[in-house]
Structure 1
């Protein structure tokens, strides 16, 4: 006898119906523990209503890692790395990127662009801007550059 079906959908089993059928087959059943309550299966949410997933781009990651480095090890002026291990903005970028790759270059360009946007176009390089501002001002530019990279999804 061939009982194959073409459908892949199955109807849920009614546990009470099975229990009643087995009582007729076994006249002296031993009491079995009560079956667990059947949980309702939640309705599936269409994929179109799911929130979009943001993947962190390499520039955003480099900027975020560099700012975390500055927050952890400290920020300094006038040197790449001071005697206590604190770094300037370029030193933090180098530590975060690991090498002078595309993410390092793009993160530096975005950071300098944000510094110029906030403090004027006279800044030609990150070290000069870094050395001329306070730690709070530098951190503010870093945070704005990270937000911008996030928004640009880079």
Structure 2
């Protein structure tokens, strides 16, 4: 086996990289010794407030109320020809489908309606159609606050 030891490499100045960096950064800041890292007490880490995300139920209720504010509130029908909706119609529009958030938001809204207007209400549409816009809005706002406090 013949091994060639002559590499034909050109000699490179060992300070070449240092000179190149001096040209790129002519006035580097003098190196200062870093201060020793101070450990952060565990109590400070644990005391940081948790990041709160809006729950699906709160979001659905909030979006439904915003829909009622922009498109209008209706009585006696799911969707008015001009686009206004009753409470259940607004919930359906906000949820996009009859999913868990839709069901849980509806249950919370109906529970709040029962707390404010009596236990006799069986369904959201009958409650919606039997009250004024201000009464309905009051229930929506209270349901949103409950969802917020329950973090759902």
Q: TM-score, normalised by structure 1?
A: 0.70
DSSP-derived class of the 1:99 partner: coil
Counterpart in 2 of 1:96? Answer: 94
Question: What's the offset of the Cα at 1:53?
Answer: 1.8
Report the alpha carbon displacement of residue 52 of structure 1 after superposing the two structures with TM: 2.4
Question: Partner residue of 1:5?
Answer: none
**Unpaired runs of at least 5, structure 2:** 1-28, 31-39
Task: Give the ranges of 4+ consecutive aligned residues of structure 1 lying more than 3 Å apart after TM superposition.
Answer: none
1:140 to 138, 141, 146: 138
Measured after TM superposition, the shift of residue 84 of structure 1 is: 1.3
Between the two proteins, the alignment pairs up a number of residues equal to 115
Provide the residue aligned with 1:76 in structure 2: 74
- Does residue 123 in structure 1 map to residue 121 in structure 2? yes
Aligned Cα RMSD in Å? Answer: 1.9
Q: Does 1:151 align with 2:149?
A: yes
In structure 1, stretches of 5+ residues that fail to align are: 1-14, 19-43
Distance across 1 between alignment mates of 2:60 and 2:124: 16
User: How far does residue 83 in structure 1 lie from its aligned partner after superposition?
Assistant: 1.5
Q: Give the C-alpha shift of residue 47 in structure 1.
A: 2.8
CA distance in 2, matches of 1:107, 1:65: 11
Cα deviation 1:94-137 (Å, max 9, x = unaligned): 00000001110010000000000000001000000000001111
